[in-house]
Structure 1
Amino acid sequence: MTGQTVDAARRALTARFKSGSVESAELDARTLAGAVLGLDLTGLISAAGRRLSADESTRLEDFARRRLGGEPVARILGAREFWGLRLTLSAATLVPRPDTETVVELALEMLRAGPAPDRQLRIADLGTGSGAILLALLSELPRAHGVGTDISRDALQTARSNAVDLGLADRATFIACDYAADLAGPFDLMVSNPPYIRSADIAGLAVEVRDFDPPGALDGGRDGLDAYRALIPQAARLLAPQGALVVEVGQGQHDDVRELMMAAGLAPEGPARADLAGIRRAVGGRKKPS
């Protein structure tokens, strides 16, 4: 790529990605070229005739090889946008996906339908990873304070760093534990995007997920429900009266998770929230008044 113009390099990269069956080949090529050159789309257009330096060509070729090997763009760049927030990633965290924004949407809806929604709220994000859900909620709820838990200390370090970068560190605490095992209530809202892939289905996942997301954040056990069996009873004990629990679920799991909520004394609230593909993705339950 050395000596190529920006436009020629971007077009050549798009063609390679298409030949390699990379989805969104044009977008990925534009994003990676922009990252190497420090340019947004407008900048890439303006600089179309500029020639790449040797260092820029080397970096872009490295990015190209990694993408053709199945590594997601977010992993290559080490960051992903979620809920309009730029989040740094690490090997210990999932790449936040748009599907998970349904959890934030439903959580906000349930909070606003609950008692005194403008009061100071206490939130817990169980298995927080990069901190995506917790930090999105804190960005929308300026009087709320939250705690994120994870069994991975590396993930917690990433989440803390994101809280600092987003100016939310004064309202976010992070604790190493298994879901809510070491927390003390009450909480007004608890959220989670736990592992929910059936163990037998892991091998058949897309390369971008199977080979690059942390296995412990994917594997939900034989039927994909192990995490819910652990965290739902914990949450039910720690929620304040009329407090809400919202969890992300896999395709076809919403009814099973609603049953686990009811067994723990939580009342399912409304239909499960669907993602853009129509999959019922976020399930909410509310603790009964005392």
Structure 2
Amino acid sequence: MTTLGTLYRALLAEFRTADLPTPELDARWLVAEAAGVPPTAITLSPDSPVSAEAVATARSFLVRRLEGEPVDRILGRREFWSLDFRLGPSTLSPRPDTETIVETCLALLPQRDADYRLLDLGTGTGAILIALLHERPRASGLGIDRAAAAVTVAAENAADNGVATRAQFRLGNWMDGLEERFDLIVSNPPYIPSADIAGLEREVREHDPLLALDGGTDGLDAYRTIATDAPRRLRPGGVLVFELGIGQEEDVATLMRTIGFTLLGPARKDLGGVARALAGRISG
């Protein structure tokens, strides 16, 4: 008879042999998913029997993980801002670093019950917009993405997290065709220089969508487009917030100043000390 504990130890041994960075966590999450139990059950009920179907599922997960597929891709979901998000092949997996963007936006939207209007460009799973709407219950927003499948996933996530009546998602190329104005525009754009894509970690290179990674020759193509168009789409006093890649603060700050933005302080750093969120308000 196979138990939760024996199945967990089997996957753990394989992951350790493969020198994965977090073998214990990977094994725990994948066994729990295969068995249909919470991860805590592996510690609390290690002698619970596991069905042959669950064993087969866990072993299929094992193969996928050893081939470099991230755990959250295998699970098909990821927690962000204490909310649960579905993933898809056309979406990035929302990462803890991006919670710094949510924190920055919330500080710029100080009134909890105000009817702010928000725009999220390159929305992906919709994680940033949905997290903001979760914290600002009278706000509403529009998320735009260049991938139709991402728009579908984002709408599903909005419904799952109870904000579907205040969130719209649309296929589009940044702000092309928009006439509306917003209190806040936020974007986690593609920012990896094209030549660097091949050198990314396998989990990113093979499983994250290229459209959400490739930022052009210098990684700044999307920043230029968005920052140039944003002044026409911001309400008076509105703000633009960007997520930054490592080492991009100076270049993006210079770009925003050139266009006419007044920066609202230095970039906010994430928990790893990386300058991650840069905000500006259009001058005049």
TM-score range, shorter chain: over 0.9
Q: Deviations over 1:173-210 (max 9, x none)?
A: 11111111122232000100000001111111111110
Return 5+ residue gaps in structure 2 as ranges: none
Aligned to 2:257: 262
Specify the SS of the correspondent of 1:94: coil
Q: Deviations over 1:54-103 (max 9, x none)?
A: 11110000000001111011100100011111000110100110011111
Aligned to 1:212: 207
Does 2:193 match 1:198? Answer: yes
Task: Report the identity percentage.
Answer: 49
TM-score using structure 1 length: 0.95
Structure 1 contact 241–288 (Cα < 8 Å) conserved: no
Does 2:243 match 1:248? Answer: yes
Matches within 5 A, 1:1-290: 3-112=1-110, 118-289=113-284
Q: Deviations over 1:201-247 (max 9, x none)?
A: 11111111100000010000111001101111111221111111111
**Separation of aligned partners in 2, 1:107 and 1:41:** 32
Q: Deviations over 1:135-187 (max 9, x none)?
A: 00000000101000011111000000111111111000111111111222320
Instruction: State the Cα distance separating 1:267 from its structure 2 match.
Output: 0.8
Instruction: State the Cα distance separating 1:118 from its structure 2 match.
Output: 4.3
TM-score using structure 2 length: 0.97
Specify the SS of the correspondent of 2:170: strand
Structure 2 contact 269–275 (Cα < 8 Å) conserved: yes
**Separation of aligned partners in 2, 1:236 and 1:22:** 46
**Separation of aligned partners in 2, 1:288 and 1:118:** 27
**Separation of aligned partners in 2, 1:28 and 1:87:** 18
**Separation of aligned partners in 2, 1:74 and 1:182:** 34
Structure 2 contact 242–278 (Cα < 8 Å) conserved: yes
**Separation of aligned partners in 2, 1:129 and 1:109:** 23
Letter of the 1:158 counterpart: V
Return 5+ residue gaps in structure 1 as ranges: none
**Separation of aligned partners in 2, 1:53 and 1:175:** 43
**Separation of aligned partners in 2, 1:224 and 1:111:** 29
Letter of the 1:165 counterpart: D
Letter of the 2:279 counterpart: G
**Separation of aligned partners in 1, 2:177 and 2:84:** 29
